Amino acid sequence: MPRFAANLSMMFNEVPFLDRFDLAAKAGFQAVEFMFPYAFSAKEIRTRLDSNGLALVLHNLPAGDWEAGERGIACQPEKAAQFREGVAKAIDYAGALGVKQLNCLAGKAPDGVSADALRATFLENLRFAADQLRGAGLDLLIEPVNTFDIPGFYLNRPVQAVALLEELDLPNAFLQYDLYHTQRMQGELASTLTKYLPLIRHVQIADNPGRNEPGTGEINYPFLFALLDRVGYTGWVGCEYKPATTTEAGLGWLHAFA
């Protein structure tokens, strides 16, 4: 079975963020991920990781003003300077926290900007980020996100992400493949996982509908977990789902498969 990492932005949110590390370790997780570390000092987070024997496998680059509705700024021409500042901040945190890969959220396409300008901006920002991350020994990931949950999200299908990665042709730029987002946009999970495996460095899971834990919806996770083993995926699988009730009550799927 794959190796599972608890997403602490969504799981164990019955308690404050810094207390979630303890609960993840007690539940049997050996690794965690989360969206953003920036509201806390790297020292605070590192202490929680070390005291629980946890590895951090992923966090995102700064994504603009999340509370105001921004979901990334990498495709927005007017935010180029802010994006570059965020890359430097993310690298500092990554070095302190021991994470080896950072995810870049493209963001929502702003009104009045042409498709060509959006694509050119995103590519330019990805080149910059990948170059800076490579100097720090880090990989850059990009993640397609469904436009039902986030209307207007620029990067929304794996085929679009793969085309961009192939054009970039950079040694440290890869795909973050979220099964939930892909199911909502196109389905074909087994075939796209297999087809794009050489570019996939991180997988995330949630069931559909509801974005809850595996086993609550239509996605055949026993089959897909076996497929990940069969095709030779060796990365982590991030549990980026919203527990249907409490986190611990919904962990039966993990005890069955881990």
The CATH number linked to 44 is 3.20.20.150
Query: In this model, does residue 258 exceed pLDDT 80?
Result: no
68: in domain: yes
Average pLDDT over residues 173-195: 98
E strands present in 14-144: 31-33, 55-60, 101-104, 139-142
Residues marked active site are found at 143, 240
Output the six-digit token pair for 77: 């021409």
Output the six-digit token pair for 249: 């009550």
In sequence order, the β-bridge partners of residue 204 are 178, 238
Q: What is the mean pLDDT of the chain?
A: 97
pTM over 0.95, yes/no: yes
pLDDT-derived band at 253 (thresholds 50, 70, 90) equals very high
42: in domain: yes
Q: How many domains does the chain have?
A: 1
Query: In this model, does residue 117 exceed pLDDT 70?
Result: yes
Are the C-beta atoms of residues 202 and 193 closer than 8 Å to each other? no
253: in domain: no
Interaxial angle between packed helices 221-231 and 189-196, expressed in degrees from 0 to 180 and rounded to the nearest 10: 20
32: in domain: no
End-to-end, the C-alpha distance of the chain in Å comes to: 6
Q: CA 60, CA 63: separation in Å to the nearest integer? A: 8
150: in domain: yes
Domain that holds residue 205: 37-236
Rounded to an integer, what is the distance from CA 29 to the centroid of its chain?
17
Query: In this model, does residue 257 exceed pLDDT 90?
Result: no
11: in domain: no
CA-CA-CA-CA torsion sign (77, 92, 240, 222): positive
